[in-house]
Amino acid sequence: MRLALDDDLRLARAVSEAALTTEGVYALGTGRYAEAATYGPGEKVIGVVVNPDEVRVHIVARYPPPEPLPALAERIRERVALRAQGRAATVVVEDVEVSPDANL
């Protein structure tokens, strides 16, 4: 069981890094009604949920985004899928953070 938890945490960290280094991502989301995280001994990776069949990453997008939000989500999904070890990859856009220099 411990090996599976370690693998899930490694995967969650890799997915977190892939999402956060994507242009247009401000931060990882925390979940709306329940915390979105992967848990392990003494550690949790917030914003990434690893299940046996799916990896779900919750993001907060920058505004203005570099591309339409569906295209941004698809680009992140593709990056996550490369690391998802055959699991389905899902991206949840939880919120949008307006940058201080946005011309609204």
Phi, psi of 39 (to 5 degrees): -110, 145
Residues paired with residue 60 on neighbouring β-strands, in sequence order: 27, 95
Q: What is the pLDDT of residue 1?
A: 46
pTM of the model: 0.90
Residue 104 banded pLDDT, cuts 50, 70, 90: low
**pLDDT above 80: residue 16:** yes
Domain boundaries, the chain: 2-98
**pLDDT above 90: residue 103:** no
Q: What is the pLDDT of residue 41?
A: 84
**pLDDT above 70: residue 2:** no
Nearest to 14 by CA among 57, 54, 53, 43: 57
**pLDDT above 80: residue 32:** yes
**pLDDT above 90: residue 19:** yes
Q: What is the pLDDT of residue 6?
A: 76
The domain made up of 2-98 is a member of CATH 3.30.70: yes
**pLDDT above 90: residue 33:** no
- Work out the average pLDDT over 72-95: 96
